[in-house]
Structure 1
């Protein structure tokens, strides 16, 4: 087997394509292996639109970057025939080693996608010796190709949440399938609020899903989200995860502490003592601070006790019991803080719980929580930090699809 035979075998060339020349250019840095491929004259080629076998009209020279040959860059040059089809006129033939319009071979793009799944795009681009913009074009092409294969006909329960795409008020909103244990991301779009839900329903219908099939939506207490779900997913029940209620009350405790500390010297270590749960591991300094706060019966201590009482609601064993406990909790907590100087934030948290009580109670009828969305957001932010940010929302969205949607598995099969 001579060198040409090895190269042909490696490239997977079949008639009418053949390798006609190869040479290593040592004058360029890095060195370049140039492979020249030609098509047999007199052969017929399929029209790229109708696949009808046609004669060659003329030939045009094209060039593609291929996988490195050892440490040398490798390029393929070919005179590609243009056929003259009776129905479609003159058309450029598709070559078997590269997709239409690309300056890279399929094997090069496959290797590039493998690197992108494991490291930031900038780092992958440096390794394979191309600009990050060219690599992003490859990523966008295959992500969009993967999205075209999505099937949402079985989607019944969704969750949605926004995550920051860069510093400032820049967000993307992610929609996931709550029933899927892996690769749950269904749709990602720029921005947050009402328009994102409308965009999702349009995408859902385009992928074989039905708006009326969505029975449950898990989200936070954003008025824009709740209003949009009511309008665009009218047959779904909304579940507000318990996490968001606890988060609201934790913030109210901290707001109370900050305000009270302006006028009263609270003990050292108070901040983290009241932010942590009473069953969490506290330092000796925090234990002392918490004991002092409770002894003085300050308003920060009252806010902390209210926050800790949420566990009583959470331990309810039925919807009926949860509803009863929420009503009792709101009534008693309101009496404790009403008229106080520093607990306006606690009253606001109680009003929020009362306003969204019906959606909160749904968690006792649902098996879904917002924990998965928060976990995914942490994963997305870790990828963003590792890449030191993304140039724009489109690049961040593409990476989310690669990390946590069915697009990831589809791309692995390319």
Structure 2
């Protein structure tokens, strides 16, 4: 094997000729002087079509390459400019790097892979670059991966939700494709105006092809979907419905605690009710022996609170019936639960019953279609992990770039390695 082929392999450069490799005496870095092959010369850096030579540009330049052990490596080559019919005078393309980038494709690929696995600070330290440069590499990699790809094409069943990414009510809106299980759209902010932007990007023709939309009970989502995709079946996410019941139960638990403090003046009973939160919140099959004993004690000492617990479990059972039996039985169970809540004489559950009744159509759609926002809740959980791993982000754009890299398509692999089999 020739020395040129060995260096090309070590430097991860293709369609190029390695002319010389030496150690820079001033900086101590390894510099490989290269040139594109004859077939790769004189191409537009943007569209890569052949162009007419214009001038020598700013002379020779360097591109950061993957380190060789502990030694930094740079590729050095001429950077002439060409005149492209479409893009005008631009720097000529090189096969080892993207247009306008100061790093090789292999460097970008490794940095992008690491960004999906650890924090940007760790990537910056290992790759010996800046935090901002890692962000730029992520954006560049996603743009190159998604070039010519229409993420909104073929959408039929989507999930819509919002997620907080910073303190101070800073939210992002997320749209997920239930079929591909990928994030297809994200934007800073939430509310009708933001979701309107999604439907503007989607267009009326593609919006008319939507068949199902899963979401929580936010009215701005329901109104926007009804305005742009009235034919789509809107399904109310079961997770949020059960969360409403859990919130109502916790409100009744606090009321029971306050009643015990005021009426019985029994500090031990009040403290026991205060500490019963997890026993009431958890599913029966997940209770510890101690929590089960606590629940049994509540049934005898405060029947009203225990009845509220049974109402919460009854609503959760409605969705379990839909999963395990059939939709018709689940709809019947939902109607029986609504009647029970109305007669419960527990104010928070009477109000919850009214709330569920207002969203009954969307909840029934979720039962019949067996459609939930579980996928988008999983996406939100992974997004929170990305935010926590990065110790927070100052802008939504940085979060969106990493989410789209990690959850919006084919994830990067390490240079020279095939993706792991599914």
TM-score in terms of structure 2 length: 0.83
Cα 1:168/1:250, change in 2 over 3 Å: same
CA distance in 2, matches of 1:250, 1:281: 16
SS of structure 2 residue aligned to 1:388? coil
CA distance in 1, matches of 2:69, 2:6: 14
* Residue-pair matches, total: 399
Q: What does residue 377 of structure 2 align with?
A: 374
Mean Cα displacement is larger for which, 378-387 or 355-364?
Answer: 378-387
Alignment of 1:99-114 (within 5 A): 99-114=98-113
1:327 and 2:330 are equivalent in the alignment: no
Alignment of 1:260-339 (within 5 A): 260-264=256-260, 265-266=269-270, 268=272, 269-284=275-290, 286-311=291-316, 313-314=318-319, 315=321, 317-337=325-345
CA distance in 2, matches of 1:53, 1:267: 80
Cα 1:367/1:346, change in 2 over 3 Å: closer
1:362 and 2:391 are equivalent in the alignment: no
Deviations 1:337-379 (A, max 9, x none): 1xxxxx4322221111111111111123213222222222222
Q: CA deviation at 1:86?
A: 8.5
CA distance in 2, matches of 1:244, 1:213: 26
1:163 and 2:169 are equivalent in the alignment: no
The answer as to whether partners of 1:20 and 1:38 remain within 8 angstroms in 2 is: yes
CA distance in 1, matches of 2:318, 2:179: 26
Cα 1:196/1:410, change in 2 over 3 Å: farther
Alignment of 1:197-236 (within 5 A): 197-205=195-203, 210-236=206-232
Cα 1:381/1:72, change in 2 over 3 Å: same
TM-score in terms of structure 1 length: 0.85
The answer as to whether partners of 1:220 and 1:241 remain within 8 angstroms in 2 is: yes
The answer as to whether partners of 1:24 and 1:34 remain within 8 angstroms in 2 is: yes
CA distance in 2, matches of 1:320, 1:89: 65
Deviations 1:83-131 (A, max 9, x none): 4578976543212222211111222212222222222222111101000
Deviating beyond 6 angstroms after TM superposition, the runs of 4 or more aligned structure 1 residues are 85-89, 409-414
Q: What does residue 54 of structure 1 align with?
A: 52
CA distance in 2, matches of 1:191, 1:83: 42
Mean Cα displacement is larger for which, 234-243 or 267-276?
Answer: 267-276
SS of structure 1 residue aligned to 2:80? strand
Mean Cα displacement is larger for which, 57-66 or 134-143?
Answer: 57-66
Question: Structure 1 regions of 5+ residues with no counterpart?
Answer: 338-342
CA distance in 2, matches of 1:363, 1:184: 20
SS of structure 1 residue aligned to 2:351? helix
Alignment of 1:170-209 (within 5 A): 170-180=170-180, 183-205=181-203
Q: CA RMSD in A?
A: 3.2
Q: CA deviation at 1:401?
A: 1.2
Mean Cα displacement is larger for which, 135-144 or 379-388?
Answer: 379-388
Q: What does residue 150 of structure 1 align with?
A: 150
CA distance in 1, matches of 2:75, 2:403: 33
The answer as to whether partners of 2:235 and 2:363 remain within 8 angstroms in 1 is: yes
The answer as to whether partners of 2:41 and 2:93 remain within 8 angstroms in 1 is: no
The answer as to whether partners of 1:66 and 1:107 remain within 8 angstroms in 2 is: yes
Q: What does residue 400 of structure 1 align with?
A: 403
CA distance in 1, matches of 2:375, 2:50: 51
Q: CA deviation at 1:140?
A: 0.7
Deviations 1:238-284 (A, max 9, x none): 11122222111111111111122123144624222222233432332
SS of structure 2 residue aligned to 1:295? helix
Cα 1:81/1:26, change in 2 over 3 Å: closer
Q: CA deviation at 1:223?
A: 1.4
Q: What does residue 340 of structure 1 align with?
A: none
Q: What does residue 45 of structure 1 align with?
A: 42
Q: What does residue 391 of structure 1 align with?
A: 394
Q: CA deviation at 1:236?
A: 0.6
SS of structure 2 residue aligned to 1:168? coil
